Chains A and B, each alone.
Chain A
């Protein structure tokens, strides 16, 4: 009798229950791709507060978390929704009202701050930002002189929990991406408490072993919690599975223009949908989903 390996599949509620008020939360994806939309909706339903969001480039899902009042600080290089909204509406309003802080950075600083957290470094140095005002907007960045020349000193950002979208995951948390990969790997490596993965489908472990070359998250970065959420990136693109929902994104951007209309959006699509099935019905059901799927060709 061989001992049995423990599966990591849980319900979405169980997965997000590990997130606490004030946590530093890494988000996968970018702008309209690979963002963990279903996990974010579960976080909003749970009513978590004062999160610090960490993502390479923010987008609709990070903006939704801000609009729902879950966020105190944003660490990112960019906050926009393509041509739908060059600047994320809830983000922009919350920033101007002083409700959130924005640790705005360049790709290099993002890399340094995440890698510094993974490696346990007190800081990493980069040349990016020399000759700019980056230290004025982020007072914890510092210009230092090493070797007779100036560098930007970037402190680490350790992450408590990462919410990550993947195309396929096995019951033990190994992940495959069919399309774009953003900062998932480096975020997962810097995550202390829990890596939560939502995927389009759960596949057997044999699927990974058939071609382990294509597995992106695995080993130390395999998911601690695995959640099965088909169409879970909607309204983002789920690479290979479905295109982003441009009609819904337009509806979102319109709603996000004022707190009142955005509350209606949240009532309809987040608080009003207890399950992923209810959410998919609300956004247009099977007809809409097939249209998005067929747009992939």
Chain B
């Protein structure tokens, strides 16, 4: 095993590394965020490091990133870029191919990383409107494919760029994508499995200060680990609902030398993870 990295790293680098650790060698395909540097770099790290058979779906095509030669001056997280075609092995010819396989016998993607403006205690996400439909106070960009992704992925993960009481709320103002349960019922009552839609909800939540999972029985969000340099109290204070706090909360395993070196020298060539960190609070 590689040694723990002793130097400094950014939150975005850590989040990328945490994402890479969730990708298994047996995963068929990893879908990106819409344009998402942290997820893209995490997926690429996993493919170069331990999951060479995994495919990555961008907006333009399928790519085996393990062997890909990344072009010299492009932030590769922009999924529709023509330059991305250089690393694709199969091009998507339009919208039919992006989502028709949802629920079909050929799995489209089996791992996905979603973001959101609000996340609640049962993993429901809001990317539509703050304040609700009738009295919106902030208009978000839209659902994109979140309902599809949150419903037919084997495993999906929620990833947020902030951890505060505005993001982690008791109940989301608008349910853009379903978690485990909400006012419309629970995953069992929605019968996804019967029609080939995957019944699984979000596996973990990766925030800038901690990792959360969901308690097996109640499906209530639970603190799993706290990132180095942060504390349980801080997480509790910055979360807008009562997290389940186990007796022992470990630190999130820090990046290893191998992970950081690979990320910096082979993957994040434009250093977007470092620049991004400057924008964060």
Contact = CB atoms under 8 A, between A and B. Distances in A.
Q: Which of A88, A105, A129 has the most CB of B within 10 A?
A: A129
Contacts of A83: 35
A182 B85 CA distance: 14
Contacts of A107: 95, 98-99, 144-145, 148
B142 A78 contact: yes
Given A149-B194, A181-B94, A104 B142 contact: yes
Q: How large is the interface on A (under 10, 10 to 19, 20 to 34, 35 or more residues)?
A: 35 or more
Interface of B: 34-35, 59-60, 78, 80-83, 85, 92-96, 98-100, 102-103, 128-129, 133, 136, 139-148, 151, 174-178, 182, 184-185, 187, 190-192, 194-195, 197
B151 A127 contact: yes
B143 A87 contact: no
Given A30-B80, A76-B142, A102-B142, 20 more contacts: A31-B80, A33-B80, A80-B141, A80-B142, A88-B141, A102-B139, A106-B145, A107-B98, A108-B99, A108-B145, A127-B103, A128-B102, A130-B184, A131-B185, A132-B175, A180-B60, A180-B80, A180-B82, A183-B95, A186-B95
A133 B144 contact: no
Contact of A130 (B34, B35, B178): B178
18 contacts: A33-B80, A77-B144, A79-B141, A80-B34, A87-B141, A106-B147, A107-B148, A108-B102, A108-B145, A132-B177, A132-B184, A133-B174, A137-B128, A149-B191, A149-B194, A179-B80, A180-B59, A185-B95
B141 A181 contact: no
A85 B100 CA distance: 29
B281 to A, nearest CB: 16
A121 interface: no
Contacts, number: 151
A185 B96 contact: yes
Contact of B59 (A30, A105, A129, A216): A30
A256 B138 CA distance: 17
A86 B141 contact: yes
Contacts of B99: 107-108, 111
A239 interface: yes
Q: Which of B83, B94, B187 has the most CB of A within 10 A?
A: B94
Contacts of A129: 147
Nearest to A110: B95
B60 A106 contact: no
A128 B151 contact: yes
A237 interface: yes
Interface in A54-87: 56-57, 76-80, 82-83, 86-87
Interface string A266-297: 00000000000000000000000000000010
Contacts of B82: 178-180, 237, 239-240, 243, 296
A153 to B, nearest CB: 15
A3 interface: no
Nearest to A57: B144
B139 A92 contact: yes
A134 interface: yes
